[in-house]
Amino acid sequence: MITEKVQQVVDAWASARGLTELPACRLERPADEAHGDYATPLCLQLARAAGKPPRVLAEDLRAWLVADPELADLVEKVEVAGPGFLNFTLGQKAYAKVMTDLLAQGEEVGRGERRPHPRVNLEFVSVNPNGPLHVGHGRYAAYGDSLYRLLVFSGAEVSTEYYINDYGRQMDRFGRSIAARYAQSLGVDLPVPEDGYFGEYVKDIAAVLRDEVGDQYLPVLREVAESLAQGQSDAEPRSSAVGGTAVGAELEQEEEAEEEETAGLPSEWPSDSAVEEAVTFFRTRGCELMLKSIREELAAFGVEFDCWFSETTLHTSGRLQQVVERLLASGEAYYKGDAVWLRTSARGDDKDRVLIRRNGRPTYFAADIAYHEDKLERGFEHLINIWGADHHGYVPRMMAAVEILAGRPGVLEVIIGQLVNLMEEGETRQMSTRRGEMVTLAELIEAIGVDAARFFLVMRSHDQTLDLDLGLARRQSQENPVYYVQYAHARIASIIRNAPPDLVAAVGGDPQVYASPYERNLIKRLDSFSWVVQEAAARRAPHRLAAYAQDLAADFHVFYKHCRVIGAPPLLASSRLALCLVTKRVIARCLDLLGVSAPDSM
């Protein structure tokens, strides 16, 4: 409330002075209480644009601030300090006014002013359905879902989406890996391909499919095993007819960089129709079972999606070919070396990119373009994709492609997340889906619970590597941040339960009300909640909420130690109960935005 009022005066002052592109007037808590309750470096930030020394700007702005009658009723003193800081000291009325407003907001506390937002499509997780979710995927799930909650709470219309990469060579490898384990379970020595998947979960899927179909596919897989043992293969070697030319070398480099996109069986497996049918069955059913498991694990983690979009549909519906034809017709795509290329270098990429290879097969990039065109045709005005650290180099081409599709820049926003190091007794666990050496999300939840997992996975900024300490996450003490925050909520719930029936939460106007520094520090923290929510949403930074929740809990625990509620004089008891009630609501909202529960007892 204080921040909003100061911002209103700042906006009027800036408009009168002809200052544009004004940064938000952030009120910070000074480290030294002698500098007041709040401080802002706004005039230091504006000095260059205004062409004036920051202290001159600060003196001018101070005159506007102290002249505003509504603000003067809340702020006891505004001072210019240092090179151009503005320091604010609040009056007693300010605390009562803030508490009156926060109490009146009820469960909507912190939501802030409604502002227009574009329709947003938020895509995250989108793990290939060829292995279980591991801890790294869990970080993207926790981050993406918390961002979704933040955006919706801030007034945006958001649809969440999971892109199912169920097409291409990686899925064929998955299907052959299941087929090999199926054959092995029936006594046939068919090795898992070297580039296949070796985790125990593949054996589990093979066992389920064996129960479904018995030995139906055993004869054809026995023939495959015998063919491999004899060193025979009916598959044709990959053509390299264009090799040796500059265009051919460039195409091969592009294809090698996108190996995952090549469909079809490898040369060491026979490629007759019976083998194709068998692999298709194991790939399709394996994908279905893996996707079912992923859905269930995410649901247990508190993450739901509005849309599950299959990549295969882009190929079977003809949409992929249609978008390529439209790009060719518009001149944005062109033929070179028997391949189709997109002019991404004209929009920030380091070179143009292949859409259709010389053998007629589309690249993954082409499928991704068709997918994003589908999003735009569904009416979404802003697209947010959350990708893993290994996709960093893919961003420029995708940004260029969506700019072409939308006809304007800025429609696609790509957020790159970083890795998770799972720490236990000082050692790091490594994770690999293909080799099956991983800590799954399900195992993490079993070890520390959903609440601790979600809180710890969003505690650090998404663009920083996260070290998750299992020992700390299990600890039931104030050293564990999620326990510390939840305990504050439970402690307040206990106060409210045990309060006398005639004790009403209300804010009085007596000078004794909210006179202690412990109450005032807590109120100032509560007053900043709306701003923290706005900043966390705008900066795509749920970790700011996690940090705020810990600071709020710390302020409350100090207040609880020094300020009696039940048994205090009636006026103080009533105002402090109101302070407890608002704090409980804000903690609960913080935890809810992070997908964490707010228990009433612990």
Report the pLDDT value the prediction gives residue 334, as an integer from 0 to 100. Answer: 98
The pLDDT confidence band at residue 432, using thresholds 50, 70 and 90, is low
Say how far apart CA 300 and CA 145 lie, in whole Å. Answer: 13
Q: Tell which phi-psi region holds residue 366, choosing left (phi > 0), alpha (psi between -120 and 50) or beta.
A: alpha
Spatial strand order of the sheet with 119-123 comes to 307-310, 157-164, 119-123, 382-387, 412-416
> Is residue 236 over pLDDT 80?
no
> Is residue 594 over pLDDT 80?
yes
Q: Looking at residue 507, what DSSP letter applies? A: -
Report the pLDDT value the prediction gives residue 427, as an integer from 0 to 100. Answer: 73
Domain 2-90 has CATH 3.90.1150.10: no
What mean pLDDT is reported for the chain? Answer: 91
Per DSSP, the chain holds a count of helices (H) and strands (E) of 23, 14
Say how far apart CA 478 and CA 487 lie, in whole Å. Answer: 9
Say how far apart CA 23 and CA 44 lie, in whole Å. Answer: 11
419-428 mean pLDDT? 82
> Is residue 181 over pLDDT 90?
yes
Give the Cα-Cα-Cα angle 213, 215, 218 (nearest 5 degrees). Answer: 125
Q: Which of 17-26, 176-185, 254-263, 306-315 has the lowest mean pLDDT?
A: 254-263
Q: Is 368 helix (H, G, I), strand (E, B) or coil?
A: helix
Say how far apart CA 590 and CA 545 lie, in whole Å. Answer: 6
Report the pLDDT value the prediction gives residue 265, as an integer from 0 to 100. Answer: 46
Buried b or exposed e, range 506-525, using 16+ CB within 10 angstroms: ebbeeeebbeeebbbbbbbb
Say how far apart CA 330 and CA 317 lie, in whole Å. Answer: 22
Q: Which amino acid is at 365?
A: F
> Is residue 426 over pLDDT 90?
no
Say how far apart CA 58 and CA 597 lie, in whole Å. Answer: 44
Q: Which of 36-40, 395-399, 484-488 has the lowest mean pLDDT?
A: 36-40
The pLDDT confidence band at residue 429, using thresholds 50, 70 and 90, is low
Contacts of 332-340 with C-beta under 8 Å, sequence gap 24+, read 332/404, 336/247, 337/242, 337/245, 337/247, 337/248, 337/250, 337/251, 338/242, 339/251
Report the pLDDT value the prediction gives residue 437, as an integer from 0 to 100. Answer: 61
> Is residue 460 over pLDDT 70?
yes
Say how far apart CA 196 and CA 122 lie, in whole Å. Answer: 31
The pLDDT confidence band at residue 239, using thresholds 50, 70 and 90, is very low
The pLDDT confidence band at residue 258, using thresholds 50, 70 and 90, is very low
Closest-CA residue to 558 (of 597, 505, 516): 516
Q: Tell which phi-psi region holds residue 422, choosing left (phi > 0), alpha (psi between -120 and 50) or beta.
A: beta
Pairing of strands 85-90, 38-40: antiparallel
What pairs with residue 190 in β-bridges? none
Report the pLDDT value the prediction gives residue 430, as an integer from 0 to 100. Answer: 54
Q: Tell which phi-psi region holds residue 449, choosing left (phi > 0), alpha (psi between -120 and 50) or beta.
A: left
Other CB atoms within a 10 A radius of the CB of residue 348 amount to: 13
Tell me: the pLDDT tens digits for 76-107?
999 999 999 999 999 989 999 999 999 999 99
The pLDDT confidence band at residue 230, using thresholds 50, 70 and 90, is confident
Global pTM reads 0.90
261-281 mean pLDDT? 75
Task: Please state the domain extents for the chain.
Answer: 2-90, 481-593
Q: Which CATH number fits domain 481-593: 3.40.1130.10, 1.10.730.10, 3.40.50.720, 3.40.50.2000?
A: 1.10.730.10
> Is residue 69 over pLDDT 80?
yes
217-242 mean pLDDT? 70
Angle between helices 517-527 and 529-538 (to 10 degrees): 30
Buried b or exposed e, range 43-65, using 16+ CB within 10 angstroms: bbbbbeebebebbebbebbbebb
142-171 mean pLDDT? 96
Q: Which of 54-63, 167-176, 224-233, 525-534 has the lowest mean pLDDT?
A: 224-233
**Residue written as token pair 């009168």:** 16
**Residue written as token pair 């279905």:** 288
Contact (Cβ atoms closer than 8 angstroms) between residue 140 and residue 124: yes
Report how far apart, in Å, the C-alpha atoms of 565 and of each of 105, 221, 490, 503, 572 are.
22, 75, 15, 10, 7
Say how far apart CA 259 and CA 361 lie, in whole Å. Answer: 12
Q: Which amino acid is at 280?
A: T
Report the pLDDT value the prediction gives residue 20, as an integer from 0 to 100. Answer: 82
> Is residue 259 over pLDDT 50?
no
What pairs with residue 440 in β-bridges? 134
Tell me: the pLDDT tens digits for 329-383?
999 999 999 999 999 999 999 999 999 999 999 999 999 999 999 999 999 999 9
> Is residue 185 over pLDDT 50?
yes
Closest-CA residue to 39 (of 93, 1, 90): 90
Which tokens belong to 205? 């899927």
